[in-house]
Amino acid sequence: MNAPLRLGTRASALATTQSGHVAEMIRERLGREVELVEVSTEGDRSAAPLASLGGTGVFVSALRDALLDGRVDVAVHSLKDIPTTPAEGIALAAVPTREDPRDVVVARDGLTLGELPVGSRLGTGSPRRVSQLAALGLGLELQGIRGNVDTRIRKVREGEVDAIVLARAGLSRLGRLDEVTEVLDPIQMLPAPGQGALAIECRSDDAELVAALAQLDDTATRAAVTAERAVLAALEAGCSAPLGALAEVVEGDDGEELWLRAVALSEDGALSVRMSATGPVADAAALGHRLASDMLDEGAADLMTTSLEQGPPVRKQHA
């Protein structure tokens, strides 16, 4: 009989819940027993802004180290936290069916974004959300905020902030959608590349486990996040601007195709390059790279350095 698979997870309530879902999938679909192994990461231990710690990869490296040194057999991450550069010795074995990738508002008194009075304090630690919120021109006071889901919602309940913006997927997995006061349309707020999706990793030299975990992969989700992350990877090389991206498998004239939208913004949201493209589901990575190249051609790389004193904001939008 096979020994239980040791599944590495961060210790937060959301991480252990997500890992628990994957553990159940492995038990039910692969017939393997699973035990969760909590791994502490730098991102969990520090209260500093993520950017100062090196970005979202701080949540991933400790779990990957645990994989490579044999402490765990499988690791589960929020896919948006994974760096776009491949990690030696690590296989992204499966991307299960994605949760709703949209952002949501949790506000006092059941308010929506548009109902918050001018000057209301909105908490978010995400440059992507800050830029897109600023672009909406609602006159909100945007404040940096970190902490787990419970900590952030408590800041609203205790009046420290009037509202926060979170990923809907996390609240759904925690069974806390009743806290949501508004679900944001992607036209207002494009999510982070890969948001709502989980990544299941294992050692690349464990061919049997790689093949087994591949049964948990969802083709449509894999294509969508591949396109989104290709945009991110291409823009990271020449553009440090806040970025949102969302791809969806839709019915086209000749069958299923991938529809990809992305936006890069200046920090204050006054300038943006917003574009979209469609292509075959099988060419997800190429579609993402093509869209990113078009965005760079339209000035995406200049967004972080452009001075607003040079002239009025110009918003470049393409259907």
- Residues 6+ away with beta carbon under 8 Å from 136: 113, 188, 269
Verify whether residue 100 is a known catalytic residue: no
Out of 81, 268, 283, 302, which one is annotated catalytic?
A: 81
Element (H, E) at 133: helix 127-135
For 289, phi then psi, to 5°, come to -65, -40
| Sign of the alpha-carbon torsion through 187, 81, 149, 51 | negative
| CB burial of residue 166 (10 Å; 0-12, 13-18, 19+) | buried
Which amino acid, one-letter code, is at 200? I
In order of 66, 198, 206, 302, the CA distances from 22 in angstroms are: 18, 9, 19, 41
Q: Cα–Cα distance between 64 and 81 in angstroms, integer?
A: 12
Please list the active-site residues. Answer: 81
